Amino acid sequence: MAEASRKTRILLVEDDRYLSHACRDALALADFEVDTSLDGHTALEKMRRTVPDFVLLDIILPIRNGFEVLEEMRMDEKLKDVPVLIFSNLSQRQDIEKGKSLGAVDFLVKSDYSMKEIIARIKEYAAQERK
């Protein structure tokens, strides 16, 4: 498959199995290649094996939380430029500011966005990265 027509690879990091499956299915229907991880440690292992084009990252995760994952990504030469969209139930200003200061392209509160809106944001950010 030619590079120009390759699907955008997304790693979805979400510990709620139901939400993870629902998001994965919606992203796949939107023509993304989707891999999932239920915890921060496994997410980092997967990213180091196959660098994704984009990461959709929850913050409250087992083993390593999303902030720790993002910090490690930014210190890793292979992962430091991968765009990360935080998708979390945390809505405190300090959490949002921390996520953005660690390099997240955006921080979306789960209850404020539909899956359709999240997919539109991912497409927007992925298009910017390909330019």
Residue 120 CB contacts under 8 Å (≥ 6 apart), including other chains: none
Residue spans of the domains in the chain: they are 3-130
The CA distance from 14 to 77, in Å, is 24
pLDDT tens sequence across 12-70:
999 999 999 999 999 999 999 999 999 999 999 999 999 999 999 999 999 999 999 99
The CATH code of domain 3-130 reads 3.40.50.2300
Give the pLDDT confidence score for residue 1 in this predicted structure: 41
pLDDT tens by residue, 55-89: 999 999 999 999 999 999 999 999 999 999 999 99
pLDDT of residue 131: 60
Global pTM reads 0.92
Name the 3-class secondary structure at 7: coil
Residue with tokens 């390909």: 130
Token pair of 4 as six digits: 């120009």
